[in-house]
Amino acid sequence: MPEITGATLRQLYNSVHRRRSSTLPIVALIVAAVLWLISVARANDLAMKSYGLVSILGWTFFVGLVLVVLGFTSELLRTPLRPRYLTAFLILLIVFIFGTASAIEPTGSLQQSFIHTGFIQYILVHGQALNSYDARFSWPGGFSLGALLVAFAGVPNALAFIRWFPLVIELLYLAPLLVIARASGVGRRAAWLGVALFYANNWIFQDYFSPQALNYLFFLIILAVVFANWKPKPASSTPQPRRRVPRRVADVRAWLSRFADVRAWLSRFAAVRALLSRSRSRLEGSDAQARWNSSTTLVTLGLVGAISLASAMSHQLTPYAILLDLAACLVSRRLGRPEVIVVIFLFSVGWLSLGASNYWEGHLSTIFGSIGQLGGTLSANVSKRVTGSASHRAIVDVRILLMVGLYGLGGLGALRRRPETRTLELLAVAPILLLVLQDYGGEGLLRAVLFGLPFVTLLAASAIMPDLVGHGRPLLSVLRLRGHGRTALRVVTVTVVLGLALGTVVVRGGNDTFESFTNGELHAVNFVYNHVTPGQTIGYVAPYLPFGQRDVGVVNQYIAIGVGATLKHVNASSFVKRQVAWIILTRSQASWGVNVAGYAPHWESKLKAALVKRGYKVAATWSTATVLRLAPITSSTKT
Amino acid sequence: MIGGVLTASSALAAPPAVLVTLITSVILLAIRAWVGTVGLTLTRREAWYLDGAIVVFVVIFFAFVVIRFANLA
């Protein structure tokens, strides 16, 4: 009788279930994709209400999303795991969360995207950055790359890139995220779940067309290389240097150790000393061992150095986040070459000193002014954002809730898992230190959370799927559910992923009534660009229109409110006083006024009427935008 | 184009001291990383020389940066 092995049984099981289990996910994928296509085809961006994108998504979108999450969970709990199907479900989840706005809204969102295309256009035309114009020009690496891509693609400007950029860059994040998850030390299922949670909880809208989105890719690649190459040496193989104790000291110690309290105290001291003696080899990188051979390691070190240099030249915050995270990897035995950290530090400070001198010359306080002012930074990052109408506050509240929930789940995961090292825990909290250094214009907290997100989500996944075997001892024992364990696991996984994904869909598109733009608004801005003459000023109420993509440094602009300001009223006299030649009023600005600034409905119509009374004429109008022009002063009206 | 943009800044060319110490430090660090990765065994003195040179150049670099901040800010 032939021997029945585990492999034979697995083969038998697979042959029975292959047909059913291989067709179902494909059907689920196709149906979900079709539902998504139907939902984006039916959506009308002009019908958007105060809750933003979610207000124009039909039931097909939500059914499709549920199907994706159910399919992913089903694959996740299947034995054996099928990475191809899991990847396909992840890609579809990314399309649902990050591609929907791109598919529905006719232009890219956020004015910053348009400003960045303007910078790229300037470099494309002039071959260099514009000094002393904008702080972002002091880190021109990303814009130069954009100019190169525009020239390479043969398109007239970078506007063609901005609409689908969030989806493309999120898809690019997937490969390094999978590497990080796989090499992080959590179980295989927890790794896949962690990546899904990353996307399901990435409501932080930092993936718009910008250098920071590109730099986040750099950040993930560097971490992925480090995770893939270095692993902690087993604790037993780490040499423990012993210090020779002088004989007299040993005698005194022996005498003291008669007393129980002193002995306890001495043992604590010995533990601290052991820790200190270990720290040196740890800081030298000797406690980590490379998986790859020396030539591959050298090549990847060169790659990490090149990416660090690119990052130092293209973003002011990311290199420091990389530096902090690599330091965390070093102390937790996941980095074998400490030189990398020093090199990144040198590149970052070197570029700040040399390349970005236009930024800080004359006002060094912009860099060092916020060091240590954590309270002010948190105030700028959190409390000042919780304002506006009930719908806007609800969106902000959901964001805070999502973050608190995820970090809570991450904390639980830290207690439940059996790690060889606590690298993930360190990486989850290390970026918070960035807040102590820089408030980053009120976005520092968002960036810090984003830098910690890949690791917090892996910890959160460990809360749901902790390793049953491992090197360490869990701080919280595994919950036993007897026969219901698998069902409970399925329910919890679906609930968490679906809950976070729905929350993210709501809050990511929550500001789209004023952060996304219609074709009419873009036409209005282009109309003004086509008619404005050098020296004239273009005015608008708030920075929520597709402005900045042309004529950088040539035309003047006047923003009545500015970012984050809370004026009670906007009056016509502020435009008249500055002789603003062209004024653009748009639907997005009107929506911002109602939802964030708390203005009365139709405030923009009243402003338009007041401007017309003060000498402005309607130059052109679209269904979502109006252009007003200061009428030339005739001889009869001159005084 | 990228090279042109990054090196066209007059600020980059003005203070060569910062740039020279930066490049020297990076080269020394690259040598240290290469030695450690390939597994070459340095004598105690060689290791001290290499580490000492790195520390000295990094400190000089940092001093130049601070001086530059103090002069131009």
Quick check: B6 and A141 CB within 8 A?
yes
- Of the ranges A20-34, A211-225, A589-603, A625-639, which one carries the lowest mean pLDDT score? A625-639
For the record, the structure tokens of A271 come out as 């533990």
Match 């929350």 to its residue by tokens. Answer: A503
Cβ pair A69, A96 in contact under 8 A: no
Q: How far is A140 from chain B (nearest CA, A)?
A: 7
A350 touches chain B (CB under 8 A): yes
CB nearest B18 (choices: A294, A297, A353): A353
Residue A565 forms part of a structural domain: yes
- Residues of B with Cβ-Cβ distance to A355 under 8 angstroms: 6, 9, 11-12
Q: What is the DSSP letter of A47?
A: G
Q: How far is B68 from chain A (nearest CA, A)?
A: 7
For the record, the structure tokens of A93 come out as 């989840």
- The mean pLDDT of A357-385, rounded to a whole number, is 65
The pLDDT, as a whole number, for residue A636 is 42
Percent of chain A whose predicted confidence (pLDDT) is above 70 = 81
A241 touches chain B (CB under 8 A): no
Determine the Cα–Cα distance for residues A104 and A42; give it in Å rounded to an integer. Answer: 9
- A351-389: b (≥16 Cβ within 10 Å) or e: bbbbbbbbbbbeeeeebeebeeeeeebeebbeeebeebe
Quick check: A342 and B2 CB within 8 A?
no
Match 């929550």 to its residue by tokens. Answer: A510
Bigger pLDDT: A567 vs A329:
A329
Beta-bridged to residue A584, according to DSSP, are A627
Residue A312 forms part of a structural domain: no
The answer to whether residue A17 scores a pLDDT higher than 60 is: no
- A244-279: b (≥16 Cβ within 10 Å) or e: eeeeeeeeeeeeeeeeeeeeeeeeeeeeeeeeeebe
B45 touches chain A (CB under 8 A): no
- Residues of B with Cβ-Cβ distance to A340 under 8 angstroms: 33
A343 touches chain B (CB under 8 A): yes
The answer to whether residue A530 scores a pLDDT higher than 60 is: yes
Quick check: B29 and A363 CB within 8 A?
no
The answer to whether residue A571 scores a pLDDT higher than 60 is: yes
Quick check: A298 and B38 CB within 8 A?
yes
The pLDDT, as a whole number, for residue A462 is 92
Bigger pLDDT: A354 vs A380:
A354
The answer to whether residue A562 scores a pLDDT higher than 80 is: no
Match 């001889």 to its residue by tokens. Answer: A635
Residue A615 forms part of a structural domain: yes
Q: Name every residue whose Cβ is closer than 8 Å to that of residue A359 and which is 6 or more positions away in sequence.
A: A135, A138, A366, A367
Confidence bin at B13 (pLDDT 50/70/90)? very low
CB nearest B38 (choices: A140, A141, A294): A294
CB nearest B34 (choices: A123, A298, A355): A298
For the record, the structure tokens of B38 come out as 């390939």
Give the best residue of A353, A359, A360, A361 to mutate against chain B (max B CB count within 10 A). Answer: A353
Beta-bridged to residue A559, according to DSSP, are A540
- Of the ranges A66-80, A273-287, A483-497, A519-533, which one carries the lowest mean pLDDT score? A273-287
B22 touches chain A (CB under 8 A): yes
Determine the Cα–Cα distance for residues A70 and A68; give it in Å rounded to an integer. Answer: 6
**Structural domain count of chain A:** 2
Question: Could you give the ipTM of this predicted complex?
Answer: 0.86
Could you write out the DSSP letters of every residue in A470-483? -SS--SSPPPP-GG
Q: HEC string of A53-64?
A: HHHHCCHHHHHH
Residue of B nearest to A356 (CA): B11
Determine the Cα–Cα distance for residues A613 and A556; give it in Å rounded to an integer. Answer: 24
Give the best residue of A337, A339, A349 to mutate against chain B (max B CB count within 10 A). Answer: A339
Percent of chain A whose predicted confidence (pLDDT) is above 90 = 54
Confidence bin at A637 (pLDDT 50/70/90)? very low
Task: Specify the pairing of strand A625-630 against strand A582-586.
Answer: antiparallel
- Which of A96-105, A244-253, A393-402, A588-597 has maximum average pLDDT? A96-105
Confidence bin at A173 (pLDDT 50/70/90)? very high
Cβ pair A297, A229 in contact under 8 A: yes
Q: Name every residue whose Cβ is closer than 8 Å to that of residue A99 and which is 6 or more positions away in sequence.
A: A164, A166, A167
Confidence bin at A70 (pLDDT 50/70/90)? very high
Determine the Cα–Cα distance for residues A153 and A414; give it in Å rounded to an integer. Answer: 46
Average pLDDT, chain A: 85
B57 touches chain A (CB under 8 A): no
- The mean pLDDT of A520-545, rounded to a whole number, is 92
Angle, in degrees to the nearest 10, between helices A165-183 and A211-229: 20
Tens of pLDDT, residues A444-465: 788 889 999 999 999 999 999 8
Average pLDDT, chain B: 83
> Does the bond joining A239 to the residue before it have cis omega, within 30 degrees of 0?
no
Residue A24 forms part of a structural domain: no
Determine the Cα–Cα distance for residues A165 and A208; give it in Å rounded to an integer. Answer: 6
The pLDDT, as a whole number, for residue B10 is 44
Q: How far is CA B29 from CA A219, A226, A292, A449, B55, in A?
A: 21, 18, 21, 31, 10
Cβ pair A294, B38 in contact under 8 A: yes
Quick check: B61 and A151 CB within 8 A?
no
Q: Is A340 left (phi over 0), alpha (psi -120 to 50) or beta?
A: alpha
Cβ pair A105, A45 in contact under 8 A: yes
Backbone angles phi, psi at A200, to 5 degrees: -70, -20
Which of these, A151, A158, A153, lies nearest to A119 by C-alpha position?
A: A158
Quick check: B26 and A362 CB within 8 A?
no
Angle, in degrees to the nearest 10, between helices B16-38 and A339-353: 170
Residue A449 forms part of a structural domain: no
The answer to whether residue A216 scores a pLDDT higher than 50 is: yes
Confidence bin at A82 (pLDDT 50/70/90)? very high
- Of the ranges A368-377, A410-419, A566-575, which one carries the lowest mean pLDDT score? A368-377
Q: How far is A467 from chain B (nearest CA, A)?
A: 32
Tens of pLDDT, residues A424-439: 999 999 998 888 776 6
Quick check: A313 and B18 CB within 8 A?
no
- A159-181: b (≥16 Cβ within 10 Å) or e: bebbbebbbebbebbbebbbbbb
Task: Specify the pairing of strand A556-559 against strand A537-540.
Answer: parallel
Residue A360 forms part of a structural domain: no
Amino acid at A97: I
Quick check: A123 and B36 CB within 8 A?
no
Residue A606 forms part of a structural domain: yes
DSSP, collapsed to helix, strand or coil, labels residue A584 as strand
Q: How many A/B residue pairs have CB atoms within 8 Å?
A: 108
A129 touches chain B (CB under 8 A): yes
The answer to whether residue B29 scores a pLDDT higher than 50 is: yes
Residue A198 forms part of a structural domain: no
Cβ pair A435, A374 in contact under 8 A: yes
- The mean pLDDT of A329-341, rounded to a whole number, is 94
Q: How far is CA A604 from CA A541, A611, A624, in A?
A: 9, 10, 12
Q: Which domain holds residue A127?
A: 113-144+154-161
Tens of pLDDT, residues A241-266: 555 666 777 777 677 666 666 666 66
The pLDDT, as a whole number, for residue A626 is 94
The answer to whether residue B8 scores a pLDDT higher than 50 is: no
The pLDDT, as a whole number, for residue A628 is 94
Q: In Å, how far from its chain's centre is CA A65?
A: 21
Tens of pLDDT, residues A273-318: 666 667 777 888 888 999 999 999 999 999 999 999 999 999 989 9
Cβ pair A176, A217 in contact under 8 A: yes
B8 touches chain A (CB under 8 A): yes
Q: Name every residue whose Cβ is closer than 8 Å to that of residue A573 and which is 6 or more positions away in sequence.
A: A614
- Of the ranges A18-32, A73-87, A343-357, B48-62, which one carries the lowest mean pLDDT score? A18-32
- The mean pLDDT of A6-23, rounded to a whole number, is 60
Residue of B nearest to A341 (CA): B29
- Of the ranges A325-339, A488-502, A577-591, A625-639, which one carries the lowest mean pLDDT score? A625-639
State the Cα angle at A453 between A447 and A458, rounded to 5°: 170
